[in-house]
C-alpha cells in the first residue's frame, strides 16, 4: 500500500491518456485505506470567481477563476489556502479551515471573508475533485499512470497553472525530469 500521500502531488505520466487527467497535477488532500481525494491544481476555468463565489473573489490568488478540480462532484466547491505564519488557529475559534499539511489548508467558503483575508496569504477555489476508492489509486500508481512527487509550498497557487505540469517534472531528479519535455502528441514529433 502506498500510504501517506496527503500533501504530495500526483503528476500524470504521459501514459495516462484519459483526457480527464492528461497532463494534470493533483494536490492530494486525503489518503487512507478507504480511498483518496485530491484536486487538479493546473486547470483554470473560464468562470470568474466574482461570478461564482463573489465573497472571496477579492482575496483569491491570481488568476481569480474557478478551477476544474476534478470529475467527481463538479458542483461542489473545494477551496485551498495557505495560512499566514502568524495564524495559529482558525479565526474566532471557528472552523474556517482544516489543515492538510504544513500551512496548506482546506477553507470553508461560508466563513466571513474579512476573517479569511486576515488569516490566509493564498486562496484558490476548485469545482469538483479527483477521488479513488480503497486500493484504486495504488493500482494506478503501480501501473505507471501517476508519478508521486513532493509538493512545493506554492504549487497549488502557481501563477501560470497551464505550465505547472512541466515545471513540477523539470525540478525532479533524472530521469523523471526528462519527462517534462515529452510532447503532448508524440506522433507529431
Q: Is 67 within 8 Å of 45 (Cβ atoms)?
A: yes
| pTM of structure | 0.92
HSE on the CB side for 119, CA within 13 Å? 27
SS3 category, 80: strand
CA distance 182 to 142: 20
Q: Where are the domains of the chain?
A: 9-188
Q: What is the CATH number of domain 9-188?
A: 3.40.1740.10
189 residues of the chain, pLDDT tens digit each: 345 899 999 999 999 989 999 999 999 999 999 999 999 999 999 999 999 999 999 999 999 999 999 999 999 999 999 998 877 655 545 578 888 888 899 999 999 999 899 899 999 999 999 999 999 999 999 999 999 999 998 999 999 999 999 999 999 999 999 999 988 766 665
Yes or no: say if 9 and 25 are a contact pair by the CB < 8 Å rule.
yes
Amino acid at each position: 500500500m502506498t500510504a501517506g500521500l496527503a500533501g504530495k502531488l500526483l503528476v500524470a505520466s504521459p501514459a495516462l491518456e484519459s483526457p480527464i487527467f492528461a497532463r494534470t497535477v493533483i494536490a492530494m488532500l486525503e489518503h487512507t485505506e478507504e480511498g483518496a481525494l485530491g484536486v487538479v491544481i493546473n486547470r483554470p476555468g473560464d468562470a470568474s470567481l466574482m461570478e461564482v463565489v463573489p465573497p472571496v473573489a477579492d482575496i483569491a490568488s491570481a488568476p481569480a477563476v474557478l478551477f476544474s478540480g476534478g470529475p467527481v462532484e463538479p458542483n461542489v466547491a473545494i477551496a485551498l489556502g495557505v495560512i499566514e505564519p502568524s495564524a495559529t488557529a482558525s479565526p474566532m475559534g471557528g472552523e474556517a479551515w482544516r489543515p492538510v499539511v504544513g500551512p496548506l489548508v482546506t477553507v470553508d467558503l461560508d466563513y466571513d471573508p474579512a476573517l479569511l483575508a486576515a488569516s490566509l496569504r493564498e486562496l484558490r477555489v476548485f469545482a469538483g475533485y479527483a477521488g479513488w476508492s480503497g486500493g484504486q489509486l495504488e493500482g494506478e500508481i503501480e501501473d505507471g499512470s501517476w508519478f508521486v512527487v513532493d509538493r512545493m509550498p506554492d504549487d497549488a497557487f502557481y501563477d501560470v497553472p497551464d505550465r505547472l505540469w512541466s515545471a513540477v517534472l523539470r525540478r525532479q531528479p533524472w530521469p523523471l525530469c526528462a519527462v517534462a519535455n515529452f510532447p503532448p502528441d508524440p506522433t507529431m514529433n
